[in-house]
Amino acid sequence: MAKTAIITGASRGIGRTVAKRLAKDGFAVVINYAGNAAAAEEAVAEIRAADGDAIAIKADVANPDDVKQLFAKTIEAFGRIDVVVNNAGIMPLSPISKGDVETFDKTIATNLRGTFLVMSQAAQHIAEGGRIIVFSSSVLAKSFPTYGPYIASKAGVEGLVPVLANELRGSNITVNAVAPGPTGTDLFLNGKSPEQIAQLSKLAPLERLGQPEDIANVVSFLAGPDGAWVNAQILRANGGFA
């Protein structure tokens, strides 16, 4: 039976590239998505065309029943879960002074509650020797104006990581977060001018925008044999954007 990986938010962006990389690494992969079925099916088709094994499962990570279904359907399809990557996330920007509580609640629900729910199911179902990988952001260190809800959600994610690692003592399951810097996806690019994109891309000493492949390489390391001794860490993959 092939090892299996669930990747949330894998219809687009970083998650899609992570799914393709883990499929190449030999995992049967579950492409989770929120609403974009066409993109998710396209990702499945790309993986199958490269002789990989993939299925798509719709689930809102903020919804406890959806998350339970995601794990139940994965076990039904593949019989086991070895790696869980909670990559799904949103980044609406709003200044704290505006007091936009809808934006705050939606961001916390998707990014923090979603991570909590996926971690919880992962802790219940993941096989011995498994890996749980969640997503923070290197923007935490920058405290940019308008990033309040997003930074609050990701700070919460970073808090959960070592707690779950401690709760899983003795199970040989690792829990880590990857915290990318600016990466060329819809989440980063949408709503920014070319000048803003150029300026943010130059902030890292490596002076370029991260690509989804840069982040997929790091997830592949944490999910694979060479990552076995890394536990309870926040791995900042950002070209030095710190």
Residues that bind ligand NDP (CB under 6 A): 8-15, 32-36, 39, 60-62, 87-91, 110, 114, 135, 137, 180, 182-183, 185-188
When the beta carbons of 206 and 225 are compared against ligand NDP, the nearer one is 206
> In the complex with ligand NDP, which residue's Cβ is closer, 170 or 186?
186
Of the listed 33, 78, 104, 150, which one is catalytic? Answer: 150
Is the CB of residue 183 less than 8 Å from the CB of residue 214? yes
Give yes or no: 150 in active site. Answer: yes
Question: Which tokens belong to 53?
Answer: 């094994």
Q: Which residue, 29 or 129, is less far from ligand NDP as judged by CB? A: 29
Work out how close the CB of 168 gets to ligand NDP at its nearest, in angstroms, rounded to a whole number.
22
What's the length of the chain? Answer: 242
Q: How far is CA 57 from the centre of its chain?
A: 16
Strand order in the sheet with 4-8: 54-58, 28-33, 4-8, 83-86, 131-135, 174-180, 234-237
Q: How far apart are CA 99 and CA 185, in angstroms?
A: 27
Q: Shortest gap between Cβ of 232 and ligand NDP (angstroms)? A: 19
CA 221 from chain centre, in angstroms, equals: 14
Burial label, 59 (beta-carbon count in 10 A; 0-12, 13-18, 19+): buried
Nearest-angstrom CA–CA distance, 157 and 194: 30
> Is the Cβ of residue 87 or residue 220 nearer to ligand NDP in the bound state?
87
Mind telling me the catalytic residues? 150
